[in-house]
Structure 1
């Protein structure tokens, strides 16, 4: 069995309009959310053998804060293709994963990650509780989805093959990490 964990970068700042999108850093809420998600993944016992990530600054900072919360660091494989990638490109990256990797964490951006999860998650696993619909509504920053595949080889994974096991948003763990309320 193969497991894919998708992790969208945490909330970034827009306070420097002249900065390139690629170079945008996390804001304080984003750092808190990424660390919170890391702690929660550790509490769940969520393990991964490999991390493939977009090299964008906000993704690197998300991983740094997540690893602080998780309590374990890994050296990600930075892949420029993941920056603002489509679901098709992300699926190609998943299919290129070496078979020795049982659990892959893919870290990047929307809308590609959301579309990838919806593409792959043909059914909901026993612990999902109907969250596939939640993903279709919105895949917020710093959210994590876990999909299981009855496959021995990553190259054999195709649309609809997966079982969505869980979808966790930062606001599920701490309401203060949810959307800002507008008056």
Structure 2
């Protein structure tokens, strides 16, 4: 079985007009919500084998703050450039190329793609994911290449507001 946690990055700041979109940092709420969600995941006993992130500063910051709460070494977060501009099909391809030895993966990305990918892979209808929200899906598959909505099981959708 493969387990995938899809996480939307925490709330970002729009206060820095001179920064590119990829360089935007988290705002105060984002810096609070990300560790809160990491604590919520830790309380569920979640320990990902692999944590992957978009290269955007807000996504990497979210991943690092969550990693700290999960006792996952931040220097082992894998940055996948393609997550940043991915559409649903491209993100599903990235997921299907994950290393099979990682049974449990937490992927931090961006909306609308992260919400749409969660909906595309989930056998259950999902609402849009708010910032720092996490959707967990279990797949009855031995390889990431075989994950699909038809072998998926929806486990939970959590957010800082819950």
Shift of 1:20: 0.5
* TM-score w.r.t. length of structure 1: 0.83
Shift of 1:30: 0.2
Q: CA RMSD in A?
A: 1.3
Question: Does 2:91 align with 1:95?
Answer: no
Which residue is equivalent to 1:65? 65
Question: Does 2:139 align with 1:149?
Answer: yes
Shift of 1:118: 0.5
Q: Name the stretch that deviates more: 82-91 or 28-37.
A: 82-91
Deviations 1:90-127 (A, max 9, x none): 1101111121110111111011111111011114xxxx
- Distance change (3 Å), C-alpha of 1:99 and 1:67: closer
Alignment match of 2:130 (pick from 137, 140, 149): 140
* TM-score w.r.t. length of structure 2: 0.93
SS in 2 for 1:33: helix
Which residue is equivalent to 1:35? 35
Which residue is equivalent to 2:156? 166
Count of matched residue pairs: 161
* 1:14-33 equivalences in 2 (<5 Å): 14-33=14-33
Question: What runs of 5+ residues in structure 2 fail to find an aligned partner?
Answer: none
Question: What runs of 5+ residues in structure 1 fail to find an aligned partner?
Answer: 124-131, 173-183
